[in-house]
Structure 1
Amino acid sequence: MDWVERVWLQAEQVFGDKAKAAVWLSLSRTTFDGCSALELAREEAGYQRVVEELQRIEHGYAC
C-alpha cells in the first residue's frame, strides 16, 4: 500500500464518509502551502504532514 492509499483510508476514518474525505483530500490548503493533501501524500514527508493534520482534526484541534 502506498502513501496516498494510506492517507485515503485514514481520511475516510476521520470524516466517516468517502465523499467528505475526497473533498478534504483534494482541496488546496494553506496548511499545506497551497497544495492538496493528496499532492503531499505522494512522498513520505508529505504523508506525515497530512497524517498529523488528520490527527488534529480527529481530536478537535483543527478545522
Structure 2
Amino acid sequence: MNFEKLIQHQAEQVFGSKAKANIWLSQPRTVFSGATALECVRDEAGYRRVRGVLDRIEHGFVS
C-alpha cells in the first residue's frame, strides 16, 4: 500500500490545496519528534499516526 499517496490526498483535503499540503507534509513537526509527516508514513503505524494528526487538524484540534 502506498501510504505516502494516501496521506498526500488526505492532507490536500484538510488544507485545501496541494501546495499547502506539501508544505505541511515536508516540514519537521514537534508532534512527530522533529521528523516530517512524509518521513513518518513509511509504515502502517506511522501512516496511522499522521492520519490521526490530520484528523485532529481537520476537526479544529491543532497540535
Question: Aligned residue for 2:17?
Answer: 17
- Equivalent in the alignment of 1:40: 40
Query: Would you identify which runs of 4 or more consecutive aligned residues in structure 1 move more than 4 Å?
Result: none
State TM-score, norm by structure 1.
0.95
**How many positions carry a matched residue from both structures?**
63
Q: Percent of aligned pairs with the same residue?
A: 56
CA-to-aligned-CA distance 1:16-54 (integer Å, 9 cap, x gap): 100000000000001001100000011111100100000
* TM value normalised by structure 2: 0.95
- Tell me the SS of whatever aligns to 1:51: helix
- Higher share in strand: 1
Aligned position for 1:53: 53
Unaligned 5+ residue runs, structure 1?
none
Structure 2 unaligned spans of 5+: none
Please give the alpha-carbon distance, in whole angstroms, between the structure 2 residues aligned to 1:41 and 1:34.
14
